[in-house]
């Protein structure tokens, strides 16, 4: 299967589409690409082979990989310095959420004079940017989760204050996305589960976010169905190319849909990711049932529509049961206390960070700092609302 889409950007999906990377560079007139990936992926033979092929075709190809999961602002600054010193003219963002977010942020910040934090996703901060010198971006995900390849933002931690910030600009959206299921075949069951639940959280929160956006709703509900069809298959058989392809599509769809908005699943996750370096998809999976039940009175009708499309019993309870059973089969912990030392949690600080998160305003229920604290407490005890 080889398919090209053009929504919201150009997407090339299919087995071995990584072989089209050089053509993508040519299409975007990139002659000196900066290949951005994390310090773990850079050592894989698959990645070394891709870089070697690039260097044969573009002998001035450069590489930046000095970062890991949950990247910080200093990683972006270092990458921008390398981009400028070496005269690069485009970015290939390769990897999971960290590789894609850092690559996109480097391409964006290579044309800016202000600090990255001046472009946080608040109001019209994005209008502060100089749009003329944002480098072209090719995005190649190796996980099916964040959907950053079709997003207009990067999640970067401000290390000085310990808060994950969402950096936004419409032109951070990659120009070409390559979705090759072969690149995800070696993803472990643990990461397949966590990233898959991340994609599910994006689609569910987008569908339940208030507001009129029928295109986002349609994409989100189909993304949920693809995940229902394929996440368990990919978890148990990582070599299932069809399941891997459907999960890649669902992840890209989640990010496309959440231009409508996200919600408190993400608001609660971001502070934990920043403070305790826990995988974002894992925390989204843990918080999911607590937030769903907290929002029940305002989302029940929406959830029943999802049930109808997924051929589940048409009730909020049947959907919640599906989520709980899915997490159980994926070996996702039920409680936050299973992955975080709760003795080190400052609930007042975390709750304030969650309330201030840019995902909070589009939660179906208006949130208070006390609501955030209650949700953290429930996720620690394991008690649903």
Q: Which two tokens stand for residue 317?
A: 């309870």
pLDDT one-digit tens code per residue, 313-325: 999 999 999 999 9
Of all residues in the chain, what percent carry a pLDDT higher than 90? 95
Judge if 80 and 172 occupy the same domain. yes
User: Residues 48, 52, 54, 58: is their CA dihedral positive or negative?
Assistant: positive
Pick from 2-16, 60-74, 298-312: least confident: 2-16
pLDDT at 28 over 80: yes
pLDDT band of residue 3 (cuts 50, 70, 90) is confident
Do 101 and 147 meet the contact criterion of CB atoms below 8 Å apart? Answer: no
Judge if 219 and 151 occupy the same domain. no
Rounded mean pLDDT, 372-378: 98
Of all residues in the chain, what percent carry a pLDDT higher than 70? 100
| pLDDT score at 6 | 81
Residue where one domain finishes, among candidates 160, 183, 206: 183
Closest CA to 198 of 222, 229, 168, 231: 231
User: Residues 221, 225, 228, 231: is their CA dihedral positive or negative?
Assistant: negative
Judge if 54 and 192 occupy the same domain. no
pLDDT one-digit tens code per residue, 126-136: 999 999 999 99
Please measure the distance between the N-terminal and C-terminal CA atoms of the chain and give it in whole angstroms: 44
Do 169 and 177 meet the contact criterion of CB atoms below 8 Å apart? Answer: no
Judge if 165 and 196 occupy the same domain. no
pLDDT one-digit tens code per residue, 224-237: 999 999 999 999 99
pLDDT band of residue 69 (cuts 50, 70, 90) is confident
Judge if 203 and 345 occupy the same domain. yes
Q: Please state, in angstroms and rounded to a whole number, the distance separating the CA atoms of residues 249 and 267.
A: 24
For residue 236, the domain's CATH number is 1.20.1090.10
Sequence-ordered list of residues with C-beta below 8 angstroms from that of 113, at least 6 positions apart, any chain:
130
Rounded mean pLDDT, 50-77: 96
Q: Which two tokens stand for residue 291?
A: 């937030």
Judge if 250 and 225 occupy the same domain. yes
Q: Please state, in angstroms and rounded to a whole number, the distance separating the CA atoms of residues 264 and 292.
A: 9
pLDDT at 382 over 90: yes
Structural domain for 21, as ranges: 2-183
Whole-model pTM: value is 0.94
Judge if 357 and 331 occupy the same domain. yes
**Dihedral (C-alpha) 60, 66, 68, 71: value to the nearest 10 degrees?**
-90
pLDDT band of residue 53 (cuts 50, 70, 90) is very high
Q: Compute and round to an integer the Cα radius of gyration of the chain.
A: 20
Judge if 160 and 82 occupy the same domain. yes
Residue where one domain finishes, among candidates 123, 155, 183: 183
Judge if 138 and 62 occupy the same domain. yes
Chain centre to alpha carbon of residue 123: 21
pLDDT one-digit tens code per residue, 87-137: 999 999 999 999 999 999 999 999 999 999 999 998 999 999 999 999 999
pLDDT at 339 over 90: yes
For residue 12, the domain's CATH number is 3.40.50.1970
pLDDT at 4 over 90: no
| Count: domains in the chain | 2
Q: Please state, in angstroms and rounded to a whole number, the distance separating the CA atoms of residues 204 and 365.
A: 15
Q: Which two tokens stand for residue 204?
A: 């569910």
pLDDT at 357 over 80: yes
Judge if 157 and 208 occupy the same domain. no
Q: Which two tokens stand for residue 68?
A: 């890991």
| pLDDT score at 334 | 97
pLDDT at 147 over 90: yes
Judge if 315 and 216 occupy the same domain. yes
Judge if 52 and 196 occupy the same domain. no
pLDDT band of residue 5 (cuts 50, 70, 90) is confident
Rounded mean pLDDT, 209-225: 97
pLDDT one-digit tens code per residue, 268-281: 999 999 999 999 99
| pLDDT score at 340 | 96
| pLDDT score at 292 | 98
The interaxial angle of helices 316-329 and 280-294, nearest 10 deg, is 160
pLDDT at 297 over 80: yes
Residue where one domain finishes, among candidates 157, 183, 209: 183
């Amino acid at each position: 299967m080889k398919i090209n889409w053009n929504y919201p950007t150009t997407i090339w999906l299919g087995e071995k589409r990584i072989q089209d990377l050089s053509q993508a560079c040519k299409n975007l007139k990139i002659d000196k690409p900066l290949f951005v990936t994390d310090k773990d992926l850079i050592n894989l033979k698959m990645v070394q082979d891709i870089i070697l092929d690039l260097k044969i075709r573009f002998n001035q190809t450069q590489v930046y990989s000095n970062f890991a999961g949950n990247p910080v602002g200093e990683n972006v600054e270092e990458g921008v310095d390398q981009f400028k010193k070496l005269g690069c003219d485009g970015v290939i963002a390769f990897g999971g959420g960290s590789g894609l977010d850092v690559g996109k942020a480097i391409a964006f910040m290579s044309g800016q004079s202000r600090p990255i934090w001046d472009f946080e996703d608040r109001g019209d901060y994005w209008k502060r940017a100089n749009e003329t010198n944002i480098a072209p971006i090719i995005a190649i995900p190796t996980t099916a989760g964040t959907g950053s390849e079709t997003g207009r933002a990067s999640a970067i931690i401000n290390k000085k204050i310990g808060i994950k910030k969402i950096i936004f600009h419409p032109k951070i959206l990659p120009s070409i996305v390559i979705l090759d299921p072969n690149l995800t075949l070696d993803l472990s069951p643990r990461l397949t589960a966590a990233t898959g639940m991340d994609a599910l959280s994006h689609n569910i929160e987008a569908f339940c976010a208030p507001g009129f956006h029928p295109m986002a709703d349609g994409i989100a509900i189909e993304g949920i169905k693809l995940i229902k069809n394929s996440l368990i298959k990919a978890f148990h058989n990582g070599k299932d190319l069809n399941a891997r392809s459907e999960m890649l599509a669902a992840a890209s769809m989640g990010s496309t849909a959440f231009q409508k908005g996200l919600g408190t699943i993400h608001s609660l996750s971001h502070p934990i990711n920043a403070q305790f370096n826990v995988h974002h998809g894992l925390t989204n999976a843990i918080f999911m049932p607590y937030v769903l039940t907290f929002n029940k009175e305002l989302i029940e009708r929406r959830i029943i529509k999802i049930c109808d499309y997924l051929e589940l019993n048409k009730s909020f309870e049947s959907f919640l049961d599906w989520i709980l059973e899915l997490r159980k089969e994926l070996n996702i912990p039920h409680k936050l206390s299973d992955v975080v030392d709760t003795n080190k949690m400052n609930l007042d600080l975390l709750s304030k960070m969650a309330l201030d998160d840019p995902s909070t305003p589009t939660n179906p229920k208006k949130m208070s700092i006390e609501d955030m604290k209650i949700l953290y407490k429930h996720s620690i005890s394991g008690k649903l609302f």
